[in-house]
Amino acid sequence: MHIIQNRRGFLAGAAAAGAASLFGSPKQAFAEAPPETTAVRLPAFPKIADCMTPIYISQDLLRTEGFADITLVTKGTGPDSSDWIEHGEVDFDWNYPPAHIRSIAKGVPITVLSGLHVGCLELIANDRVQTIPDLRGKRAGVDDVNGNTYLLLMMIAAYVGLDPANDIEWITTPDPIEAFAEGKIDAFLGTAPVPQIMRERNLGHVILKTSVDRPWAHYYCCMLAGTNEFVQRYPVAAKRVLRALLKAVDFCLSDPAAAAKAVVANGLGSRDDYIRQAFGAEVLYDKWREYDPEDSIRFYALRLQETGMITSDPQTIIANGTDWRFLDELKQELKT
């Protein structure tokens, strides 16, 4: 398994000295009990998931919270971090709500703890597709049938009355940008930095942005889940992880230029200008205090149930797979 570990440092070379200045010098906080474990494993998708920048710049904050062994896992069993948390290869998963919900519905022992941000997805299409209903009879590119982009696009299509299983031709492709450029697909969902790359190459047009288009803009695009084992066995540590990540989310909002520079310097971000374009346009980090995470779980669980991708009702998902107590406490602690 390829991993990036804390002993490699937050930034390489001369940039390392600047890392501590992002959040000040790391100091252990003693206002509450120390974490029951000093090790934590988090997922990372270098240069292909800029919305996860808060994870990529969180090492100093995690050290401040008492974590000495911080591992960023970039590869595990299966293509997505929802697979990795299912196989016990990460302790937390930063992912789309439908990915968490589907895992809970099939009995994966995880607990959703918080919303993280709104937006980050754009539905990009060619001239044959001007609106979502125009996807009827067209080719949609996905990373994997039954993967996350498939789930999300299925829900989007069903929401406007399409029968996604029969009305759309699903094309699996490891590189949707090139498949689109070569005319092999008519539309696909992309997350930062894909929209920025498509605009730079003058490819396609956007027919839906989850940061602004209803109803998607009213619900979280990504939420944090932890394994039941970690959350239940190490509750203080779980709260400390969440606090570090929410502080990193706030930093991306308050100083996007510094966050972009840092994440590119440590080799995990795509490009400085791509990230700065995404912050505030596609990726909205200002909603974790405002939105009700339970609303997002309920909304997406209903959509998955309607499309037949899960049989569990929303209330069962909420009861079996969510816990907002740490978030409620941190909303009071981190008011500004």
What's 225's domain CATH number?
3.40.190.10
- Spatial CB neighbours of 34, under 8 Å, sequence gap ≥ 6: 28, 66, 236
Q: How many domains does the chain have?
A: 2
Q: How many helices (H) and strands (E) does the chain have?
A: 16, 12
Report the distance separating Cα 261 and Cα 247, nearest Å: 17
Give the pLDDT confidence of 233-278 residue by residue, as tens digits.
999 999 999 999 999 999 999 999 999 999 999 999 999 999 999 9
Quick one: pLDDT at residue 24? 53
Three-state SS at 320: helix
What are 99's two structure tokens?
A: 């990915």
β partners of residue 172: 142
- Residue 276 counted as domain residue: yes
Q: How confident is the model at residue 144 (pLDDT cuts 50, 70, 90)?
A: confident
- Res. 147 pLDDT band, cuts 50 70 90: confident
Provide the pLDDT for residue 19.
Answer: 40
- Domain extent, residue 305, equals 3-118+219-333
Residue 96 lies in a domain: yes
Quote the crossing angle between the two packed helices 97-105 and 293-306, to the nearest 10°: 70
Question: Within this chain, do residues 266 and 205 fall inside the same structural domain, yes or no?
Answer: no
Give me the pLDDT at residue 32, please.
84
Indicate if 114 and 196 belong to the same structural domain. no
Assess whether 113 and 156 both reside in one domain. Answer: no
Torsion of CA 72, 274, 179, 208, to 10 degrees: 100
Do 111 and 228 lie in a common domain? yes
Verify that 69 and 200 share a domain, yes or no: no
Q: Are residues 16 and 94 in the same domain?
A: yes
Please tell me the distance from the alpha carbon of residue 208 to that of residue 121, in angstroms, as a whole number.
8
Residue tagged 């991993």 (tokens):
3
> Are 101 and 245 in the same domain?
yes
Encoded amino acid at 288, one letter? W
pLDDT in tens, 173-185: 999 999 999 999 9
Please determine, for residue 312, whether its predicted confidence score (pLDDT) is greater than 80: yes
Both 138 and 249 in one domain: the answer is no
- Say if residue 264 is in the same domain as residue 224: yes
Mean pLDDT to the nearest integer, 289-294? 96
Length of the chain: 336
Q: Which of 159, 178, 209 is the last residue of a domain?
A: 209
- Judged by DSSP in three states, 74 sits in coil
- Given 186, 209, 232, the domain boundary residue is 209
Query: Could you identify the residue written with the tokens 């816990």?
Result: 323
Measure the CA–CA gap between 61 and 55, rounded to whole angstroms.
Answer: 10
Is 114 found in the same domain as 252? yes
Q: Is 214 inside any structural domain?
A: no
The predicted model gives 227-233 an average pLDDT of 98
With vertex at residue 321, the alpha carbon angle to CA 316 and CA 322, rounded to the nearest 5 degrees, is 105
Confidence (pLDDT) at 10:
32
Work out the average pLDDT over 310-321: 97
Q: Is the pLDDT of residue 122 over 70?
A: yes
Does residue 186 belong to any structural domain of this protein?
Answer: yes
Helix (H) or strand (E) holding 207: strand 205-209
Pair 223, 293: CB distance under 8 Å: yes
Are 229 and 91 contained in the same domain? Answer: yes
Are 229 and 201 members of one domain? Answer: no
In a domain, 90, yes or no: yes
Domain end position, chosen among 191, 209, 227: 209
CB of 148 within 8 A of CB of 160?
Answer: no
CB contact at 8 A, 195 and 281? no
